[in-house]
């Protein structure tokens, strides 16, 4: 089997571990593996330069690491300045230039040490071209041209929705390429079916049918650390801090950061304040905390937080309320992309490694009759769920929030949810 792996959408810690696991898991199972640079954009652009040489043979298990001198040299050069694939003179994987090549065959050593690196070393993009039928046709052609018959996509709900559309369209795309004589009959016959598996890489933890997305726990650690730092300065000056955290339309990061950092008040999209005047409720609560001796106040606002009428609740407005009503010396801290970047925590190395191996296994077992799977984790077990169902259920959560059906939204995300 010939597998390609790509990362798409907003990066998240652990995406490199996914690529490493798919590359190495695939090679161990006798597959050939490619990486697609720059997400779906790379799939659409494909390769305009001549085919590259074969990747170096694996150093492991044939060669123990101590004896692979040349490979280590490349490894050290490549990792020396921390730039990995981009060193200012061009893009490299194990010394091979990648100019004009977006779909690159990789070997065992190309991904050495990747599991501890932040972001995504093969690049990511939110591709406009892939959202068009022409873009997806080009993407299909580029895969067929390389002989690739299986695709692993690691990204958030938008990226996996894209994967689902691509999978559903595949037979039509192949038929069109054949009818326009862009591919041969032999190529069409060999690519009647594209095997796809999705892995959820997102700091937001907003995908249904999985308990955790890759990168969410690392982002939570970052926020938690930031709260610890803010706590000491806040207590020193007896100040209030309003922290805006990421999560798009999902309040998971905000909620759990609040629990782990001891916040006084939390705003999340899924549970807007019941009262029309949440300002009163918040002020009463914080006043009580101050009266029992708290010298600091922490309010967390999810970036997608909403009030009862579905109007956004903004950190600056919360600050004004605390300042004007309670007389608190208040600051706003927007954590921004510090939440997303940086090295993955241990869990965000373990989860993608196990899920990456499972993704390869799912591709090996796939037949034209089996659905495309999303690899998840539920109740501490790695799961395969139909990608189409996970995408649909995630959409239903967003729809329920828009329709103000908050309990429905919560129970769609978590079937154990009780009001």
Told to check if 218 binds ligand F6P by CB under 6 A, we report: no
Told to check if 122 binds ligand F6P by CB under 6 A, we report: no
Tell me the binding residues for substrate.
202-204, 239, 246-248, 303, 331, 337-340
Told to check if 251 binds ligand F6P by CB under 6 A, we report: no
Q: What is the DSSP string of 192-229?
A: S--EEEEEEB-SS---TT-S--BTHHHHHHHHHHHHHH
**What x/- string results for residues 127 through 166 when contact with ligand F6P is judged by CB under 6 A?**
-----------------------------x----------
Told to check if 296 binds ligand F6P by CB under 6 A, we report: no
Contact 199, 12 (CB under 8 A): no
Nearest residue to ligand F6P, using CB? Answer: 246
Told to check if 246 binds ligand F6P by CB under 6 A, we report: yes
Q: Which of 110, 204, 206, 348 is flagged as catalytic?
A: 204
Beta pairing partners, 150: 3, 195
Structural element, H or E, at residue 153: strand 150-155
Tell me the binding residues.
10, 126-127, 156-159, 202-204, 239, 246-248, 303, 331, 337-340
Told to check if 38 binds ligand F6P by CB under 6 A, we report: no
Beta pairing partners, 254: none
d(CA 250, CA 207): 9
Closest to ligand F6P by CB, 248 or 413 = 248
Contact 245, 313 (CB under 8 A): no
Tell me the binding residues for Mg(2+).
157
User: Is residue 204 flagged as an active site residue?
Assistant: yes
- Whether omega before 393 lies within 30 degrees of 0, making that bond cis, reads no
Q: How far apart are the first and last CA of the chain?
A: 47
Closest to ligand F6P by CB, 158 or 386 = 158
Length of the chain: 419
Closest to ligand F6P by CB, 93 or 219 = 219
Contacts of range 365-369, beta carbons closer than 8 Å, 24 or more positions apart: 366/150, 366/195, 366/197, 368/192, 368/193
From 199-207, 277-285, 321-329, 386-394, span contacting ligand F6P (CB under 6 A):
199-207
Count of C-beta atoms within a 10 Å radius of residue 96? 17
Told to check if 41 binds ligand F6P by CB under 6 A, we report: no
Told to check if 318 binds ligand F6P by CB under 6 A, we report: no
Residues forming the active site: 204
Query: Site residues (CB under 6 A) for ligand F6P?
Result: 10, 156, 202-204, 246-248, 303, 340
């Amino acid at each position: 089997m010939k597998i390609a792996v790509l990362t798409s959408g907003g990066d998240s810690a652990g995406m490199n571990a996914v690529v490493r696991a798919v590359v190495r898991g695939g090679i161990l199972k006798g597959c050939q593996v490619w990486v697609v640079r720059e997400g779906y954009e790379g799939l659409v652009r494909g390769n305009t330069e001549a085919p590259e040489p074969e990747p170096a043979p694996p150093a492991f298990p044939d060669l123990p690491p101590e004896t692979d001198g040349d490979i280590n040299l490349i490894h050290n050069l490549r990792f020396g300045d921390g730039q990995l694939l981009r060193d200012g003179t061009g893009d490299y994987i194990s010394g091979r230039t990648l100019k004009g090549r977006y779909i690159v065959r990789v070997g065992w050593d190309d991904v050495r040490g990747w599991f501890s690196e932040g972001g995504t070393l093969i690049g990511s993009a939110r591709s406009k071209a892939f959202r068009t039928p022409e873009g997806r046709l080009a993407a299909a052609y580029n895969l067929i041209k390389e002989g690739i018959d299986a695709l692993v996509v690691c990204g958030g709900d938008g990226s996996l929705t894209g994967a689902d559309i691509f999978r559903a369209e595949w037979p039509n795309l192949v038929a069109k390429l054949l009818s326009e004589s862009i591919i041969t009959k032999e190529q069409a016959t060999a690519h009647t079916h594209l095997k796809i598996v999705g892995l959820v890489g997102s700091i937001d933890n907003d995908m249904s049918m999985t308990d955790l997305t890759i990168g969410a726990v690392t982002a939570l650690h970052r926020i938690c650390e930031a709260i610890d730092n803010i706590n000491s300065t806040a207590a020193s000056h007896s100040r209030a801090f309003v922290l805006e955290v990421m999560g798009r339309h999902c309040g998971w990061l905000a909620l759990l950061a609040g629990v782990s950092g001891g916040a006084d008040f939390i705003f999340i999209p899924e549970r807007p304040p019941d009262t029309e005047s949440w300002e009163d409720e918040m002020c009463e609560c914080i006043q009580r905390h101050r009266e029992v001796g708290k010298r600091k106040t922490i309010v967390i606002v999810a970036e997608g937080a909403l009030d009862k009428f579905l109007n956004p609740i903004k950190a600056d407005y919360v600050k004004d309320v605390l300042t004007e009503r309670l007389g608190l010396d208040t600051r706003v801290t927007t954590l921004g992309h510090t939440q997303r970047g940086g090295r993955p925590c241990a869990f965000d190395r373990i989860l993608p490694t196990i899920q990456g191996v499972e993704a390869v296994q799912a591709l090996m077992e796939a037949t034209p009759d089996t659905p495309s799977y999303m690899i998840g984790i539920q109740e501490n077990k790695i799961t395969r769920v139909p990608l189409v169902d996970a995408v649909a259920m995630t959409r239903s959560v967003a729809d329920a929030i828009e329709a103000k059906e908050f309990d429905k939204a919560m129970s769609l995300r978590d079937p154990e949810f009780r009001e």
